[in-house]
Amino acid sequence: MKKLIIGGALAALMATSAMAETIGVSVARFDDNGLTIMRNGMTAHIETLDGVDLQMEDAQDDVARQLDQINNFIASGVDAIIVNAVDTNATEAMSQAAAAANVPLVYVNRQPINMDTLPEGQAFVASNEIESGTLKAFEICKNLRAEGKSGGATAYMLMGQLSNQAAVQRSKDVEDVLGMDMCNFITLIDKQTAEWSRDKAQDLMTNWISSGEPFDAVFANNDEMAIGAIQAMKAAGISMDAVQVGGVDATPDALVAMEAGEMDVTVFQDLAGQGAGSIDTALKLARGEEVDKTVFIPFKLVTPDNVSAFK
Amino acid sequence: MSDTSHGTGGLKFDAKKRSWPNELNIFFALIIIIVIFEILGQVLPYMNDQSFLFDTRDRFDSIFNEARLRIIILQVAIIGIIALGVTQVIISGGIDLSSGPLVGATAMIVMSFAQTELVNGNPNPKAVFGEWAFDLPVLVPVLVGLAFGAVIGAINGSLIAYTRIPPFIATLGMFLICRGIAQAWTRGQPVSFPTEGYAFLGKGMMPVFWFIALAILFHISMRYTLYGKHTYAIGSNEDAARMSGINVQRHKVRVYMIASMLAAFAAVILSSKNLTAQSGMGIFYELYAIAMAVIGGVSLTGGRGSIIGTVLGAMVFGVIQSGFTYIKLDAFYQLMAMGAIIISAVVLDKYRQERAVSRR
């Protein structure tokens, strides 16, 4: 009897707290710069909404932990779940768990492997990754042509973690652009991973410079690595006018480097917009509204001409 | 001779008894690795006329490729500074897993005290504190960092010395605590744009200068002072050290404090070199620092090893890293090769030790 009363009281408590909609969010890594901007975009957006609670978890780059978090969300009866996948190959199990429990699921920023077979009530919010590498590489190709280097130019490429879909995609996009008739005068001397890190990029670039091979451009999968490369080139006395450097993300540090004339091209991925977009999509799904399977938040090209608009 | 299991062991540590100093072996290994890269560079079909260490294109005044020599040591200098502290901890019979996250946490904290007010004439977009924290003298962030390191080290050391929990557990706990501090400090946001004075600390070859200066300092203190002798004594045989009147507990706290202060100083240099602090900084640094020490002949059972060995161990790392880029080896294989090299270094060392013991 006692148990029944306590149980009833608990149920009543939960019923009242369930008046507010709760969204469970599992983010791949809290200490990743880009994901932090996205995360903050979510929290900022939530504050503008009434009666929506956010429960944010850090998956600490651990696939198993992330799946546990999702199951915990389901068990505690959230209205919708947002997942920024640790490993985009491991999303099938998450989709199944959420679909079985009839809880809407939104993937954000990283494209799930089961995109084509996403169950009802699930969606993907991101920027179209193909745009980022392509926009950057094509702009650098145009700049090199404008500098009169169309007779032949060389470049290095700094890549993110090789297990990461964005790194693979961005690198492939650059190589695709370099395969086009208009841009095939650019030859890649070498491409290596610097694991998204400024420090590693600095060391890698210095190693490349030490081989003494002349080069005209540096393609980086993100801004942090582009800045690391810039720091290495400056330390080696290379004039930043002579080299085209391109990154992705348009971080505040990169915009400062661009204003200083060091960085030439970056691409703005509206991460805060993705965070906010994922919340809106999750709420729509929770309320049974119609939602596209893929919600795109567009990339924007940033050059010295329009850099001031992104500060 | 009773000193068998831990090398020369105990207070009787005496370098003269060894006919062939361990450091010389590592030095030879270093040369062999360089020769291997040099040969690979000539043999591999896709490599053009360059050499690994020599200047084949007449870019420098000397016969060496000076840029290569510089990067070999520059890229290991910062982790090398951590390894100097880790070496002392391991010689004392302990282990410190917290150094990597401590680098991340310290970098975040010190950078917040090293920010400049104006960036290209605009207000600093990454300001952590209010106006009072802008353009402080460079000594402020450095002292804040060292103090933070000292506190963390004192906690590590006290836990290990007074509660007697295993160093592995104590520093593993601190590993998580520091990673948490690093993330909580600005909720994961990077901290950037330091003052010019602060940026000078890690500019160009400055990390190498600090690494060598600190290596010399701790070489002297480990080899010629009571501090060093006590550290070796505790690592060789803690009971014997206690009975011969060494205050083992107090000494352990001291060793961990020094190790954490070195890691904190490495964080200062790292954030200055990169002109930014990020909570993810220092990932795996603790493992690389331990690996440098171990490759340099520091025994994980304590009591054996030297600062010179660790410096050479760091150099081995630098040569391998630079060599991999030189021969354009893919990143996947780099990790595998690095792991294999670490394991074989320890196996070889163990084999050599056992032979040395059986010869006696």
Q: Does the interface predicted TM-score (ipTM) exceed 0.90? A: no
Predicted pLDDT at A7: 55
Per-residue pLDDT band for A161 (boundaries 50, 70, 90) equals confident
Contact A162 B126 (CB under 8 A): no
| pTM across the whole model | 0.78
Contacts of A206 in chain B (CB under 8 A): 67, 70-71, 74-75
Chain A residues within an 8 Å CB radius of B280:
29, 31-33, 197
pLDDT of residue B261: 98
Rounded mean pLDDT, A110-128: 89
Question: Average pLDDT over chain A, rounded to whole?
Answer: 89
A235 interaction partners in chain B (CB closer than 8 Å): 203-204
User: pLDDT value at position A18?
Assistant: 44
Instruction: Look at residue A77 in the predicted model and tell me its pLDDT.
Output: 85
* A167/chain B closest Cα distance in angstroms: 13
- pLDDT at position B4 is 43
Q: Do A33 and B331 touch (CB under 8 A)?
A: no
Could you say which of A30, A197, A252 has the minimum Cβ distance to residue B188? A30
pLDDT of residue A211: 87
- Cα gap B244→B235, rounded to integer Å: 14
User: Is the pLDDT reported for residue A25 higher than 90?
Assistant: yes
Mark yes or no for CB contact A32/B192 under 8 Å.
no
Q: How far is B252 from chain A (nearest CA, A)?
A: 32
Q: What is the 3-state secondary structure (H, E, C) of B48-76?
A: CCCCCCECCCCCCCCCECHHHHHHHHHHH
Q: How confident is the model at residue A124 (pLDDT cuts 50, 70, 90)?
A: very high
- pLDDT tens for the 360 residues of chain B, in order: 344 444 444 455 555 555 577 888 889 989 999 999 999 988 888 777 678 888 877 777 888 888 888 889 998 999 999 999 999 999 999 999 999 999 999 999 999 999 998 887 777 877 888 888 899 999 999 999 999 999 999 999 999 999 999 999 999 999 999 999 998 998 878 888 899 999 999 988 999 999 999 999 999 999 999 999 999 999 999 999 999 999 999 999 999 999 999 999 999 999 999 888 988 889 889 999 999 999 998 988 899 999 999 999 999 999 998 888 888 887 778 888 888 988 887 887 778 777 766 765
Instruction: Tell me what pLDDT residue A1 has.
Output: 52
CA distance B227 to chain A (A): 34
DSSP B324-335: HHHTT--HHHHH
* Residue A235 scores a pLDDT above 80: yes
- Chain B residue numbers touching A197 (CB-CB < 8 A): 280
* Overall average pLDDT of the A234-249 stretch: 94
Chain A to chain B, count of Cβ pairs less than 8 Å apart?
Answer: 101
State the pLDDT at residue A5. Answer: 58
pLDDT of residue B146: 98
What is the Cβ-side half-sphere exposure of residue B11, based on CA atoms within 13 angstroms?
Answer: 13
Across the range A57-76, mean pLDDT stands at 86
Supply φ then ψ for residue B79, to 5 degrees.
-65, -30
Length in residues, chain B: 360
* Beta carbons of A198 and B276 less than 8 Å apart: yes
For residues A247-252, give the mean pLDDT. 90
Which amino acid belongs to residue B181? I
Residue B66: what pLDDT?
84
- Whether B325 and A204 lie within 8 Å, measured CB to CB: yes
- Interface contact B182-A31, CB threshold 8 A: yes
Closest partner CB to B119 (pick from A31, A40, A256):
A256
Rounded alpha-carbon distances, angstroms, from residue B46 to B27, B54, B297? 30, 18, 36
Residue A15 burial (10 A CB sphere; 0-12, 13-18, 19+): exposed
Residues of chain A that touch chain B, judged by Cβ-Cβ distance less than 8 Å: 29-33, 35-36, 39-40, 162, 190, 192-193, 197-199, 202-204, 206-212, 227-228, 231, 235-236, 251-253, 256, 259-260, 311
**Residues of chain A contacting residue B75, judged by C-beta atoms under 8 Å apart:** 203, 206-207
The alpha carbon of residue B139 is apart from the nearest alpha carbon of chain A, in Å, by: 23
Question: Long-range CB contacts (< 8 A, 24+ apart) of B38-41?
Answer: B40/B323, B40/B327, B41/B326, B41/B327
Angle at B43 between CA B39 and CA B48, to 5 degrees: 100
